[in-house]
Structure 1
């Protein structure tokens, strides 16, 4: 009969390591990109598989037991070993070189991409990243770009796409603008506001808002631009209201959600490349790192 404890999963051990290093389940979940309940289940599963009580709750704090403290020594060694593996893999990528062109909407290029571009450069410094901040699918079809970040699944021949984690968009405005609107609480009250829209029309956005009880018309859009960066700057300055994905709005402390009770608009994220280009080492590396970042 085998009396040995079950072999713990590395994800469970990584969850424990992050919890101790950050000091709380919530901070550890944020570091690892998990929800707090998911991370808590991983720590609990580790305790069960090892047959140990690792944490004791003291008020709202988690305190390592003596067994937990002994376990952390080995876990830190494992974490260091995992980091060495990552660095070794990165070193293997040093020989990958050349240009990789990414096309994305300008708002994504300016606000969302910088962290992953820095990571790609650190892993493969011989790769030159060129970003076409246009958001036009024709960039791929004309071979002006190798990889595209899109919010709709492309149906053109010769392209392959990976769906990443969906995001969501809310309507935002500055506190001063929302004060002038009387701090809207309902869709009807929000519909009194002025919005920025794209040059090519607002039909899709109007339909999405109508499904959420906000009835908008052409008169709600006195401002229009082809540039997401420009439109967002107008929103940040308090000129108008505007819809934006959470990832960008989080980086813009001047704005707030206009009516939090209105459900967000789901925004899918697709990573797209040419079928034959996906076999290129440098394009494959960048494509996979983008998928991981957006997932």
Structure 2
């Protein structure tokens, strides 16, 4: 039985784990329910124990299925990486490249960079994963990532983009109604847009200005995009990347001397991809585009691109 198992069986396992039912999993995969059921039966015969238990809420995974999940997900990531690698001729800037970036970077910054890149290289296909979760490059869940922390693994290569400045902003009409704060203590009289969880730059703000840790937030959101939307809607004072907020005439920066920090930004990829033309070209384009976004290109001496020797770790 072990010899007859293949990737499709583990793909079926993942689909049932994610959907909670055989019928929904079969629809997701474009299979018939009996075919998907046979895949699960084959896996259960191999491990010698049930993988799912029926309940009023659907199929519940057993401990065996839960233990198998990360291995099946690793197979899924490897299969996707293999398809991307096979999508390109060895010496051509073509095929598929998967990019992982935070919500804000992925939605507010990268589309313009990607559009220009594809104008120059029309045979490139980009998969953009905009998520605040860190996707593992070592497990090939993405080819290239934009990270706000320097990678430590030796198998990864990276380039430091620079520091993207962050400040506090509000809509001008909000400030006209409520007044412009002149000192940190004035924030107590304002509606503050805050974070549902403390990110690295939030902790940096609090270390510099402990008073912020005691502030009452009128709105909390775990999505940075939601916070920016609240600022743009005139909901109060919140934090935003300066290159996104400064061009907007409706927004005004407040307390620039007290409320300012930066997001150290890196473009990262697995060293095994450094000589793949499709990945090297996308890496270089992201690096240059993000440097322009951060304003780092004007302030710092330009660094080599991925076409030159990349730094490891």
Q: TM-score range by the shorter chain?
A: 0.5 to 0.7
Task: Note the aligned Cα RMSD (angstroms).
Answer: 2.5
Question: Of residues 106, 114, 129 in structure 2, which corresponds to 1:109?
Answer: 106
1:243 and 2:239 aligned:
yes
Structure 2 length-normalised TM: 0.58
Unaligned runs of at least 5 residues, structure 2: 1-89, 292-313
1:172 pairs with 2:177: no
Q: What's the CA shift for 1:257?
A: 0.2
Residues 31-79 of structure 1, C-alpha deviations (whole Å, 9 max, x = no match): xxxxxxxxxxxxxxxxxxxxxxxxxxxxxxxxxxxxxxxxxxxxxxxxx
User: Does residue 182 in structure 1 map to residue 155 in structure 2?
Assistant: no
Give CA deviations for 1:209-247 in whole Å, capped at 9, x if unaligned.
Answer: 552x47113552342323222211011111132111112
1:145 aligns to 2:142 (yes or no): yes
For 2:128 and 2:275, the matched residues in 1 are separated by 20
Which residue in 1 is equivalent to 2:288?
292
Aligned length: 202
Is 1:227 the counterpart of 2:236? The answer is no
Would the aligned equivalents of 2:168 and 2:259 in 1 still touch at CA under 8 Å?
no
Alpha-carbon contact 2:92-2:277 (below 8 Å) kept: no
Range with greater deviation from structure 2 (194-203 or 114-123): 194-203
C-alpha displacement of 1:191: 4.6
Judged with a 3 Å threshold, the aligned counterparts in structure 2 of structure 1 residues 237 and 165 are, in CA distance, closer, same or farther, namely same
- Structure 2 contact 93–124 (Cα < 8 Å) conserved: yes
1:256 aligned onto 2:233: no
Return 5+ residue gaps in structure 1 as ranges. 1-92
Residue number in structure 2 paired with 1:21: none
TM-score, structure 1 normalization: 0.61
- Quote how far apart the aligned CAs of 1:197 are: 3.1
Runs of 4+ in 1 over 4 A off after TM superposition: none
